[in-house]
Amino acid sequence: MKLYDLELSGNCYKVRLFAALAGIPLEIVAVDFLGGEHKRAPLIELNPWGELPVLEDGGTVLRDSHAILVYLAAKYSGEAWLPRDAAGLAEVAQWLSTSANEVQNGPGAARLVDKFGYALDKATTLARAARILPLIDAHLARHRWLARERPTIADCAVFPYVALAPEGGVALQAYPHIRRWIGQIKELPGFVPMPGI
């Protein structure tokens, strides 16, 4: 099973992190992102969106980190990381949506501006971060984990761009419950870091 990967991508890291925590072996294939390798054959044939990560598992090819998390959890980890009951599955799904929307476009986008020079409206990214981080912190004040009171792929999805928020000029000092949760994830057996975390 191959993961076409960019080391500095939080979206790629979500998959690497989950696979490490769940003990799922992956062959990591580093992609020359700056050289545009993801926009040329053979990668563009695997993912016409021209984005990373891409997972190739036999005849199954998937794009999008959240879809990959769902696939790996459903196929290889039983219910340990992805509940099958309707309420549990929906609880995880709402956090996957939060990761793809508010977190990606808030602290994740602020990091793109500061670390990689993306031409995004920094004030908008900071306003989005200022809205979502207090909500996550308040949730974590009442819950040890994001969903089901145990680690799930919800935590793997939200963790990278929240933990990397300082790289976008978004401080985490005001969010003690987020900082506690970050520490908990780092203490999980199998945890692997990425640059910045």
Model pTM above 0.85:
yes
Terminal alpha carbon distance of the chain: 25
Give 113-164 pLDDT, tens digit per residue: 999 999 999 999 999 999 999 999 999 999 999 999 999 999 999 999 999 9
Residue 85 has pLDDT above 90, yes or no: yes
Domains located in the chain, CATH noted: 2-76 (3.40.30.10), 86-186 (1.20.1050.10)
CA distances from 59 to 2, 5, 9, 10, 51 (A): 11, 19, 25, 26, 19
